[in-house]
Amino acid sequence: MADSLLVEIVSPDRAAYRGEARAFRAPGVEGSFEVLRGHAPLLAATQVGTVTVTTLNGDRVQFATSGGFVEVLDDHVIMLAETAEPAGEIDVERARAAEETAAERLAAATTPEERAQIEAERDRARNRLRTAMGQV
């Protein structure tokens, strides 16, 4: 289609999405960004957050991601993500339990390195919850 992009989102364990889209939005490490048809070539790092693909019919498909890279070239967007979990597949109770466990572990953390690792785990769990509940 004339006004579309080809979007691919892949992670080590699966190809999470492949299809034509109107827009692609990702949480870049220097701020969120959106790609539309005709976008300049780009290579960007992403962080924990929600990726949104707007399909040709206007639906929004969301993925909880935990970082990676996005390449844009000739109306083709490829995201190589550490993880990419479709919102509809997120186990909300499991994500909530992971957030609670991280909070408990954070209270007992003794080193800055341990705190940083646990905070990252908590942030990933919170992102999964927000994405699953559509609050991004």
What fold is seen in the domain 5-87?
ATP Synthase; domain 1 (2.60.15)
**pTM, entire model:** 0.88
CB atoms < 10 A from the CB of 92, how many?
11
At position 24, the amino acid (one-letter code) is F
* 99 in Cβ contact with 125 (< 8 Å): yes
Domain boundaries in the chain? 5-87, 90-133
User: 132 is written with which tokens?
Assistant: 């699953």
Q: Is 111 left (phi over 0), alpha (psi -120 to 50) or beta?
A: beta
How much is the pLDDT for 100? 93
User: 80 is written with which tokens?
Assistant: 């190589």
Between vectors from CA 86 to CA 116 and to CA 12, what angle results, nearest 5°?
65
pLDDT digits (tens), the chain, 136 positions: 568 999 999 999 999 999 999 999 999 999 999 999 999 999 999 999 999 999 999 999 999 999 999 999 999 999 999 999 999 999 999 999 999 999 999 888 889 999 999 999 999 999 999 999 885 4
